[in-house]
Amino acid sequence: MSVFTPLQREELEVFLAPYGLGRLRDFEGIAAGSENSNFFVSLEQGEYVLTLIERGPSQDLPFFIELLDVLHRHGLPVPYALRTDRGEALRTLAEKPALLQPRLAGKHVSAPNPHQCAEVGRLLARLHLATRDHIIERRSDRGLDWMQEEGPSLALSLDDAQMPLLRDSLAEIAELKPKLLALPRANLHADLFRDNLLFEGSHLTGVIDFYNACSGPMLYDIAIALNDWCSHPNGEIDETRSQALLAAYSSLRRFTPAEAELWRPMLRVACVRFWLSRLIAAQKFAGQPVLIKDPDEFRRMLSARQHCHSALPFAF
C-alpha cells in the first residue's frame, strides 16, 4: 500500500537526468507511509528517495523546502530537497509535485530505550534552536482552532463513557488557549512519532515526514514526541524514558516557568490533536486499503494524562 501513483522506468529516467547523479540503477515503491507516494531510487552516485505529493497543502511546499534547507545547514539529518542543474527543487512528475531527497540511513524503532529517547530530546532542541530566532511562519492546519472546530461534533459520535473526556479536554483548551499561544515559539516538526525517526542502534540518523511542520509553541512539539516515545500501552508515561527525553532536551534549551506550568495541560492537548485526527481518519478511510491508526491509543493516553505527575526539569 501507499504507492498511489506507479511510475514507469522511462519517465523516471527523464525526470532524474537534470540532477546529474548518474544513471538509474534501480527503484522500488515504499510500502510504509500513508500520505504520499515514496520510492527508493538507486543512482550511480548514491541512494535517494523520490516523493510524489499526493494530497495536502501543495501551496505550502516552498515552506517545507525552505525549512528543510535551514535544518540541513544546521547539520540535522533531514531529507532536504536536492536541486537540478537549473537550481530547481520542486518539480512535477506524473502530474504530481515531486521532490528528490537523500536517502537517510537507519530503521524505525518500535520499542525505544532511554538512550534513544534522549536522542529524540536533543534532536528536538536542536530543531527549535535552529529556528527560534528566524521562525518561518506556517499555521498548523491541525492546531488549536482546528481542534475546537472538529472536536464538538466528534465528541457527539463517542459513547457515553468517552464523551466527557473529550468534552472536558476541549473546555480546558478553550480556557488555556491564550496562555498556550503565548509560550516560546519556534518551527515545529509537530509529528515526531517513532515512524518518523530513523536509528542505527542508539544513534539517531534521520528525521522524516515534515508535512505537519509549522510554527508554534516549542512545548507542543515536546509533548507530541513524549506521548509517542515514552508511553506504555495503557497510556501511562514511562518515567525513565520520559526523564531521559526531557533532560536531554533541557541540556540544550532550558525550560521557562510558563512552560513548566503548562506542561501537563500541553501533554493533554497533544493527545486531543491525534485522538481527533485518528477518529476522522477512521471514519473517512473505513474499509479502504489505507493504514488506519487506532484512535483509542490516544483516548487511553488522554485518560492517563488526567492524573499524571510528569514535570519539566530545571525550569527557572
Ligand X SMILES: N[C@@H](CCOP(=O)(O)O)C(=O)O
Ligand Y SMILES: Nc1ncnc2c1ncn2[C@@H]1O[C@H](COP(=O)(O)OP(=O)(O)O)[C@@H](O)[C@H]1O
* Footprint of ligand X (CB under 6 A): 142, 191, 193, 212, 274, 277-278, 293
79 binds, among ligand Y, ligand X, none (CB under 5 to 8 A by kind): ligand Y
List 100, 101, 214, 235, residue binding ligand Y (CB under 6 A): 101
212 binds, among ligand Y, ligand X, none (CB under 5 to 8 A by kind): ligand X
**Cell digits for 65?**
523546502
User: Based on CB atoms, which residue is closest to ligand X, 138 or 253?
Assistant: 138
List 15, 16, 19, 36, residue binding ligand Y (CB under 6 A): 36
112 binds, among ligand X, ligand Y, none (CB under 5 to 8 A by kind): none
Task: Tell me: does residue 231 bind ligand Y (CB under 6 A).
Answer: no
Taking alpha carbons only, the member of 65, 47, 50, 59 closest to residue 11 is: 50
- Select from 30-38, 120-128, 174-182, 236-244 the region that touches ligand Y (CB under 6 A): 30-38
274 binds, among ligand X, ligand Y, none (CB under 5 to 8 A by kind): ligand X
The residues that touch ligand Y, with contacts defined as CB under 6 A, are 2, 30, 32-36, 38, 49, 79, 101, 103-104, 195, 206, 208-209, 211
